[in-house]
Amino acid sequence: MIAHRYPARAAASRAAAARDPLGADPLPVSARIRAYPKGAYPKGERAGYNSRVPVAISPISYAGGCLCGAVRFVAHGPPLWVAHCHCETCRRATSSPFTTYAGYPSGQVNWSGTSAAGFQSSPGIERTFCARCGSPMSYAGERWPGETHLFVSSFEDPAAFSPQVHVHVGEQLSWVHLDDHLPRYVHTSIAGPPLE
């Protein structure tokens, strides 16, 4: 039996399964996704658990979602990149001193549960969030066509993602001091070499 992070949700999942063992009564989204340990599950493992769980298209998939559990996602495979962003708009959108993203090809991200609401924060940029609890969910921009940037903190196992770089450090708050020895770019790696 799997140890659940949220025992009340596990009890609700077992009660729903007892009411309808064939799965006609849909389980809450959180019960469907959270059954996998630490948000990652190998392809084929527990294949018969629940047919409504997105099928893994790569050997490793990572589950995540919003604070209330209404909006869920599964990202398949390793991310293209993982970066700390220090730009002002990301800080304001997340109410944090900086945020950390994992970039995925959009086709490798499957959404379930309630649809995320969208907000165009600037021309060509869409940020999504849970309309119920307000959790930021994703970032997509014309500058990165075909990519979805997910917030590392919204994954069930954020420690599985190791940041590789800092971007937009020209906008970094003066009191943020990180001694992680990662490359630091005034804007992005496309705009020039890292700072010395």
pLDDT attached to residue 33: 36
The pTM of this model reads 0.70
Length of the chain: 196
Q: Indicate the CATH number for domain 7-191.
A: 2.170.150.70
DSSP string, the chain: -PPPSSHHHHHHHHHHHHH-TTS-SPPPHHHHHHTSGGGEEETTTTTTS-TTSPPPSSSEEEEEE-SSSSEEEEEES--SEEEEE--HHHHHHHTSS-EEEEEEEGGGEEEEESPPEEEEEETTEEEEE-TTT--EEEEEETTSTTEEEEEGGGBS-GGG----EEE-GGG--TT--------B-SS-GGGSPPP-
pLDDT attached to residue 58: 54
Q: Mean pLDDT across the stretch 3-31?
A: 43
CA distance linking residue 70 with residue 50, whole number of Å? 18
Model confidence at 40, in pLDDT bands (50, 70, 90)? very low
Model confidence at 190, in pLDDT bands (50, 70, 90)? confident
pLDDT attached to residue 189: 81
pLDDT attached to residue 35: 38
> Which range is least confidently modeled, 38-52, 67-81, 89-103, 149-163?
38-52
Q: Which residue ranges make up each domain of the chain?
A: 7-191
Percent of the chain with pLDDT over 90: 63
Q: Mean pLDDT across the stretch 98-119?
A: 96
Residue 150 has pLDDT above 50, yes or no: yes
Residue 44 has pLDDT above 70, yes or no: no
